[in-house]
Chains A and B, each alone.
Chain A
Amino acid sequence: MRPVPFVSRIPPALALACACALAVAGEPAPIGLKAGAFDPPQAAAEFPDGVSATDGGALRLARYRGKVVLLVFGFTHCPAVCPTTLATLVEARRLLGADAVALQVVYVTVDPERDDLAHVRRYLAGFDPAFVGGTGQPQALALLRKRYGVSAQKLPAAGGGADYAMSHSTSIYLIDREGRLRALMPFGHSAADFAHDVRQLLALR
C-alpha cells in the first residue's frame, strides 16, 4: 500500500472518532449456492417453437424435468469463453460422479447462421456427448434470449470481410428438477462450484 500523508488521515480519523456509534453488529445469513440465487424462484421460460435439439426433436426444457439443467448460451466459433465454460462443465460432471446422470447441460447457440445442428452436435461431442445443443430459427433464438435476458451481438472482424465474432452473455442458468430458474452462475466459477450447486439443487425436494 502506498504511504498516505498524515494530514490526509486527520478528517477520516476525527469523523470516525465521532461516529463510533454507527457501527453495527450481527452475523451474516448463510448462502446456500455459489451462484447468484433468485428468490422466489420462478418457472424457467420454456423454449419457443423453432429451436431444435442436437439429440433430436424440438428443444424443450420440459424434456429434462427431473434433472438439473445448466443452460449455456454461446457459439461454436467462440475463441475463449465457450470452450472454457464447457470444459468446466465437463469437469463438474466428473466431480459429480454418479449424480451426473441427473444433470443436463444444454448449450444454445447465439449464432444460428454458422451453427447448424450437425455443427453444434460435432462441437459438443468434443466436450461431452451427453451435452445437448440447440439451434434453429433466428427469431426463435432471439425470443429465447429475450426471455432469459441474454444479450448477443454480431461483431464484424477487425480486418473486414465475411468473418465475424459474437459478443454474448456468459452466465450459466441453473434450473432445478421442477423446471424453476434457481440461479445464475457468472462466468469464471470453478467446476467445484458448479458441482456444489448442482448437488444443492438435486437435494431440493
Chain B
Amino acid sequence: MKTLRIVAVALVALAAAGLAWAAFAPPRVDSRDELFEIPKGTFARRMAGDKVEILPSRIDLTLGLNDHLLLRNLDDVPQQFGPVLVMPGQSFRLPFELASTYSFDCTAHASGQMTIVVAEAPATPWDRLLWRWNRMRMKIHA
C-alpha cells in the first residue's frame, strides 16, 4: 500500500513537473518550415480519378515557430498551390511576419479558397500549453 502511494505521488510530481515545463519553457522547434509535399505520381493518381488533397483548406501557423509555409513538388508535372505554380523538383517557401488571416484563391479546394491563419507566438503559460497540445495532436494525426 505504501509503495502504491509512493508511486502515485511520484506520478503526480512527474505530471506537475511536465506541466510546469510545458507552460513555462519557451517553445522551440527544429525548423520554422511547415512542409507540404506533393508526392511523385500525384498527377497520375488525379488523372485516374483519385481525389488527392495535399493542402488542407486551412493551415495554422505561429509566428517565430512555424511561420514558413514550405511547398515541395516531388511530382513530374508543375503543381499549382493557390497562386503559386511550383515546377517539378522545386520548392516554394513563403515566410509570414504578421499575425493575420490570409486567404488565397485555390482551385484545388471545393471552397475555392485556402486560408492561412498566422497566430502570434504563445506568450502566456496557458497559450504555451495549448500550443504544445495542438502541436502534439497534429503530429499524431500526421
The interface of chain A, by Cβ under 8 A from chain B, is 1, 4, 9, 12-20, 22-26, 28-29, 31, 33-40, 42, 148-151, 167, 169-171, 184, 186
Closest residue on chain A to residue B95 by CB atoms: A31
Give B residues with C-beta under 8 Å from A.
Answer: 14-19, 21-22, 25, 27-33, 68-69, 78, 80, 83-87, 89-95, 97, 102, 104-105, 107, 124, 126-127, 129-130, 132-133, 135-136, 139
Interface of B is mostly: mixed
Which residues from chain B contact A149 at a C-beta distance below 8 Å? 78, 80, 83-85
Smallest Cβ-Cβ distance to B80: which chain A residue: A149
Is B14 a contact partner of A17 (Cβ separation < 8 A)?
yes
Q: Distance (Å) between the CB of B132 and the closest chain A CB?
A: 6
- Tell me whether A22 and B136 are in contact (CB under 8 A): yes
Kindly provide the distance from the CB of B130 to the nearest chain A CB, expressed in whole angstroms: 7
Q: Which residues of A have CB within 8 Å of B92?
A: 36-39, 184
Q: Which residue in B16, B78, B136 is a CB contact (below 8 Å) of A15?
A: B136
Number of A-B contacts (CB under 8 A): 113
- Docked Cα-Cα span, A201 to B86, in Å, equals 20
Interface pair B105/A17, CB less than 8 Å apart: no
Q: Nearest chain-A residue to B128 (Cβ)?
A: A16
User: What residues of B have a CB within 8 angstroms of the CB of A39 in the complex?
Assistant: 90-93
Nearest CB to that of A167 among chain B residues? B105
A26 touches B30 (CB 8 A): yes
Contact present for A13 and B129 (CB under 8 Å): yes
Q: Given A1, A13, A28, A186, which contacts B102 in the complex, CB threshold below 8 Å? A: A186
